[in-house]
Amino acid sequence: MAGKKRIGVLALQGAFLEHQQVLSRLGCEALKARTRQDIMNIDGLIIPGGESTTIGRLLVDYDLGNIIREKAGEGMPVFGTCAGMVVLAREIVGSDQYRLGLMDMEVCRNAFGRQVESFEEDLTIKGIERPVHGIFIRAPYVTRVWGEAQALAEFEGKIVMVRQGHLLATSFHPELTEDTLLHEYFLSMV
């Protein structure tokens, strides 16, 4: 299967199986990324939704933060969804929790409310011709971007999707819909 993209999904905690299923439907080799060796052998990485403080703690425990930073620094595309967005952020409002700090953005955790206040919304995304359905569950939003980071989508004036070169982050969960468009968008970056 020469040429098949090898995409790792950080499989420490959170919704990694759903991302793997979408990637498999799109013809990728979708791998659980749990070790440094796993990270070394992939073409792109997805950091799924879950609990950002737990994911951060596990990145430290499994000694994965530096290798992810190194690979991203070499140009490996990384896509963070929900908690993954928080982990990718350079700054987190009111928190000193562990994060990779790869993207020039500041995020506010659980900013749209608690689990019971979860919602769905169709979003207009810059550079994408049709709306994308977003599922927001205890979602963060971005309070500001700077440097190379660009806001690609907003909801009620809040930034919910950011791209910075080969790095991508969403507040919402594209893996929980039948629409594969955002995974295809990420794969086009790989």
What pLDDT does residue 135 have? 96
For 41, the token pair is 């052998």
- Whether 94 maps to a domain, the answer reads yes
**What's the pTM value of the predicted model, to 2 decimals?**
0.96
Measured CA to CA, the distance from residue 145 to residue 185 in angstroms comes to: 21
Q: b/e string for 76-99 if b means 16 or more Cβ within 10 A?
A: bbbbbbbbbbbbbbbebeebeebb
- Whether 1 maps to a domain, the answer reads no
CATH number at residue 107: 3.40.50.880
What pLDDT does residue 1 have? 42
* Residues designated catalytic: 82, 173, 175
Q: Which residues of the chain have pLDDT under 70?
A: 1-2
- Contact between 99 and 69 under an 8 Å Cβ cutoff? The reply is no
- Contact between 131 and 123 under an 8 Å Cβ cutoff? The reply is yes
Measured CA to CA, the distance from residue 153 to residue 163 in angstroms comes to: 10
Average model confidence (pLDDT) across the chain: 95
Largest CA distance in the chain: 46
* Residue numbers of the domain that contains 75: 6-189
Measured CA to CA, the distance from residue 36 to residue 118 in angstroms comes to: 34
What pLDDT does residue 2 have? 52
What pLDDT does residue 97 have? 96
- Whether 133 maps to a domain, the answer reads yes
How many domains, the chain? 1
